[in-house]
Structure 1
């Protein structure tokens, strides 16, 4: 019977060692999983920040393009005022049309500026 007892103790000991190894490996895997989750959270936060920055840049580019467009229209108005060869009624109508376009652009600029400030 002592042979059987030794054999049983040996199996128990071997099983216990294997179980300790498995528990240790599981602990390491859990730690690694926690680190991966933390890294994923950091990446998601960074992605959100980049998306916000991208949206702000797009808005700023839109505002810049509208300002350029507005400057061109203002220049056309100045050119019309300087040009004495054009019929006064035609000139006045052109200036009114350009002023309307300038006002529309200014409204869009103001809207985009407010939108941009809300993203802060």
Structure 2
């Protein structure tokens, strides 16, 4: 494992980014190393975060449910009123979208054929 990846891993305490550690590490890096470090931090954060988009829900219950499904990942809740009775789950490069509007559109297009 290269040095930057080791520094990224060392920047976390209990699965949370430790700002004090990041600031301390950043003081020892050159400008180009700092750019690489920030890029690696962002990538690591994307890999360890699941974004759940809902129309409206009890955030605490949703976070609890998704935490059980995606162990050791941070759950971020977003609200989007255009998702009618649906959910959109973004897990790094994988995106899953389930919503009532999409189902209705599929049924209407099937009937019109």
Could you state the TM-score of these two structures normalised by the residue count of structure 2?
A: 0.28
Greater fraction strand = 2
Greater fraction helix = 1
Could you state the TM-score of these two structures normalised by the residue count of structure 1?
A: 0.27
Q: Higher RCO, 1 or 2 (CA under 8 Å, sep at least 6)?
A: 1
Question: Bigger radius of gyration, 1 or 2?
Answer: 1
